[in-house]
Structure 1
Amino acid sequence: MSGFYPSSIIGFGHAVPKRQVFNAEIEAGFGIESGWIERRTGIRSRYWVEDGETLTDLAAKAGRMALANAGIAQSEIGMVLLATSTPDHLLPPSAPLLAHKLGLSDAGAVDLAGACSGFLYALVMGDALVRMQGKAVLIVAANILSRRINRQERASAVMFGDAAGAVVLAPSQSGFCSLVSSTLTSDGSHYDLIGIPAGETLMTMRDGRTMFAQAVKTMTECGNTVLQQVHVASNAINHFVPHQANARIFDAVAEQLQLSNAVTARTISDYGNSSAATIPLSLSLGGKQYSKGDLILLTAAGAGLTGGAALLSCTG
């Protein structure tokens, strides 16, 4: 039976590998001056997996935390959405294995390959599933990018880390926050700016400057769209949680959206850029700061070119 149900985020979770890699290690490898990476990107460190660690292992840790935080029975989860660009295998999808590791074998499970915007795509789809079916949805965004970067290419080697973030959406009006506005976009004319070509394993960045400019443009436009949809002024935003691609990117977006540094999440300094995982990771890390009535703006852009934004309203 389907109908219209309320939908709220009732749990957050996150996970990173044990190995923390500081800038000094990477700067020494490239022979660049101390402090260069942080000045250019805002990153001080990132986390990289060791041999033997898998994407679904990392995703499962974040998923378990979100489920525990939600206090929800496994039988209540109707769907698992895994936003990742680095699955354990190209076929079969990794989401069913993730669901199995979490004891959610009766739930549906599917991968979403939305690059850095993948969590926002999963959030909007998950919210729709909850509202139509009245079953909870576990969303996990996770990436192991340390195995996909070219360690000899400075542009990618300094940026990327491994992490997972998760949320539980449920048919409830008493969760932490609810989705009140969203937009999703794509622009295939910039399809080849960053990617992993078919048959290859390492990421390439063709034009970093153009990617920078397009990311700022897309994130700003999407952010403005979701605010305009519900007639919310930028000065009403309590928390700005952008995709943590590069501090210079999201600072430029915040400036164009007229958002202050005080409301902007900055998890990139310790965790680097983990693509789709950065927003749910930031939400989980900042969860204790959210109060009833707060508005949280999320926005992202990434390879594809994919983009999106979402506005959350804190309900409890």
Structure 2
Amino acid sequence: MRRDITADTWPAYRYIVPDTYTQAKVRLTGLGSSIPKGMITNDFFAYIATRLGYPRKGTDFERATGLSARCVRSCTLEQCRRIAGTDAPGLIDDPMAFHDESLIDMAVAAAQHALASAGREAPEVDMVIATSSSDNYIFPTIAGLVQRQLGCRSIRASTLKGGCACITEALQMAAEALATSNVRVVLIVAAEAVIANSVHILDWRSSLLFGEGASAFVLERGITQGDETYAINGYNAHQAEVLWYQALLHKDAREAVNIDQQILEMYQKSCGEQVDHLLAKYRMGYASMSGKRVYEDAPQAMAECVDVLCRHAHLSPEELGSIVPHQANSRIVRRVGEVLMLEYGWPGNTSGKLADYFCSYGNLSNASIGVALVEMLRSQRLQPGQWIALPAAGGGFHYGCWLFQYQGLKHSEVLVA
């Protein structure tokens, strides 16, 4: 049964502002992903933790997170060896891997797959939007470099830099451009290397959660009732301490080098408490995360975004086919369903609608939702006519969601092969 709403019947949401949404006719026509070939197993992080005075086994981390290995680029494996030592276990190279693979390379590969699945060529793209929480491309930007390497026209290319919910901001931006301008085809790319660029590898409690990869979407202007979509985003900087990251400026470089050297020396002396102290005190250049607060706040914000968009669409929980949250970790994915059921009266089968691919890839930040959708397509969990919600929450504190009806891809076989 579809739900009617009025201004007086909104739940008491903690985060989302219900009337800030976008409604537009948009169709998802292309998906793509790109995953590097190197791997880091839990044995590597157990080695670091044990050397710092916190004895762990690889099986301890798998039991706690469900994650046994994460895919990374060859250059990240080299970075791990430089920091942790060449004798560190759990660093697995692939002889077929592209040695100097960059974020741009991953983004372009994902974009090429997305365009192929949509039956589109790069010159047909009217707008490129890129997202990343771990790039260092100030100018030219990721979007501009992807635009150039794909062979797009000199069109609008915008980059959103920030935590894991920038992807929902990109989806809302694309919907608004398709609805209000002459743009007809939008390419969205997300590329991430958090483990190498945004956290310190020796901060093993955080770094072990992340992988590397890229994903891409092709969105086109819709014309039918089935193309009606809904998007919403919000930001609450009062919650900034939950997930915090500041990039280094030139004036900070000398101090950063000094701190990094101290951290490495303390690691080599097995002084875990001193390493923790330095990482906590000097956060410049490395992300910091309050795990307990993230577990409390992120699922709440994502659940609110899903609930409010379903109300805007007059869509009942039973009519929603799948919820594909940002894959922060499996506990947070499950918690999104619990919040929907406990606080907003969603039915008991809600948990079964949640997609969880964290155990296969780790946290891919802005790229995680797109990678999860590709995996759902490969396992035939995406069916035409299915309503899907894509909620995310990330650093700052930022949150959002896109709600749409999947209509199928023109050439989905390019992703299944």
Give TM-score scaled by structure 1 length. Answer: 0.91
Alignment of 1:253 onto 2:343: no
CA positional deviation for 1:77: 0.5
Alignment of 1:297 onto 2:389: yes
CA positional deviation for 1:5: 8.6
Structure 1 moving runs of 4+ over 4 Å? none
Q: Which amino acid aligns with 2:234?
A: T
1:244 corresponds in structure 2 to: 327
2:134 corresponds in structure 1 to: 86
Normalized per residue, the structure richer in helix is: 2
Q: For the residues of structure 2 that align with 1:56 and 1:179, how far apart are their CA atoms?
A: 32
Q: Which amino acid aligns with 1:127?
A: A
SS of 1:270 mapped into structure 2: helix
For residues 271-300 of structure 1, the C-alpha deviation after alignment (integer angstroms, 9 at most, x for no partner) is 000111101111122124222221111111
Aligned mate of 2:216, from 166, 184, 190: 166
SS of 1:24 mapped into structure 2: helix
Q: Which amino acid aligns with 1:21?
A: I
1:315 corresponds in structure 2 to: 407
Q: Is the 8 A contact 1:196 1:203 kept in 2?
A: yes
Alignment of 1:11 onto 2:10: no
Q: Is the 8 A contact 2:24 2:228 kept in 1?
A: no
Q: For the residues of structure 1 that align with 2:67 and 2:227, how far apart are their CA atoms?
A: 30
Q: For the residues of structure 1 that align with 2:102 and 2:185, how far apart are their CA atoms?
A: 26
Q: For the residues of structure 2 that align with 1:72 and 1:251, how far apart are their CA atoms?
A: 36
CA positional deviation for 1:49: 1.4
Q: Aligned ranges for residues 256-271 of structure 1 at < 5 Å?
A: 256-258=339-341, 259-271=349-361
2:376 corresponds in structure 1 to: 286
1:49 corresponds in structure 2 to: 73
Q: Aligned ranges for residues 62-211 of structure 1 at < 5 Å?
A: 62-132=110-180, 133-147=182-196, 148-173=198-223, 178=227, 180-199=229-248, 202-211=285-294
Going from structure 1 to structure 2, the CA distance change for 1:272 and 1:206 (only over 3 Å counts) comes to closer
Q: Is the 8 A contact 1:222 1:299 kept in 2?
A: yes
SS of 1:159 mapped into structure 2: coil
CA positional deviation for 1:101: 0.8
Q: Is the 8 A contact 1:87 1:93 kept in 2?
A: no
Root mean square deviation of aligned Cα:
2.1
Work out the percentage of aligned pairs sharing the same amino acid: 27
Gaps of 5+ in 1: none
Q: Is the 8 A contact 2:26 2:220 kept in 1?
A: yes
2:295 corresponds in structure 1 to: 212
Q: For the residues of structure 2 that align with 1:53 and 1:245, how far apart are their CA atoms?
A: 24
CA positional deviation for 1:63: 0.4
Going from structure 1 to structure 2, the CA distance change for 1:195 and 1:75 (only over 3 Å counts) comes to same
Q: For the residues of structure 2 that align with 1:272 and 1:120, how far apart are their CA atoms?
A: 19
CA positional deviation for 1:157: 1.4
Q: For the residues of structure 1 that align with 2:202 and 2:172, how far apart are their CA atoms?
A: 37
Aligned mate of 2:48, from 8, 12, 29: 29
Q: Which amino acid aligns with 2:67?
A: I
Gaps of 5+ in 2: 1-22, 51-55, 76-99, 249-255, 257-283, 342-348, 409-417
Q: Is the 8 A contact 1:13 1:167 kept in 2?
A: yes
CA positional deviation for 1:108: 1.6
For residues 63-108 of structure 1, the C-alpha deviation after alignment (integer angstroms, 9 at most, x for no partner) is 0000111111322201110011222422332211111111113322
Q: Which amino acid aligns with 2:204?
A: R
Q: For the residues of structure 1 that align with 2:292 and 2:109, how far apart are their CA atoms?
A: 35
Q: For the residues of structure 2 that align with 1:10 and 1:28, how far apart are their CA atoms?
A: 44
CA positional deviation for 1:37: 2.2
Q: For the residues of structure 2 that align with 1:76 and 1:146, how far apart are their CA atoms?
A: 34
Going from structure 1 to structure 2, the CA distance change for 1:179 and 1:154 (only over 3 Å counts) comes to farther
Q: Is the 8 A contact 2:127 2:183 kept in 1?
A: no
Going from structure 1 to structure 2, the CA distance change for 1:196 and 1:307 (only over 3 Å counts) comes to same
Going from structure 1 to structure 2, the CA distance change for 1:206 and 1:238 (only over 3 Å counts) comes to closer
Q: For the residues of structure 2 that align with 1:180 and 1:198, how far apart are their CA atoms?
A: 35
Q: Is the 8 A contact 1:93 1:111 kept in 2?
A: yes
Normalized per residue, the structure richer in strand is: 1
Q: For the residues of structure 1 that align with 2:126 and 2:72, how far apart are their CA atoms?
A: 31
SS of 1:35 mapped into structure 2: helix
Which has the higher mean CA deviation after the structures are superposed, 44-53 or 193-202?
Answer: 193-202
Alignment of 1:227 onto 2:317: no
Q: For the residues of structure 2 that align with 1:217 and 1:87, how far apart are their CA atoms?
A: 28
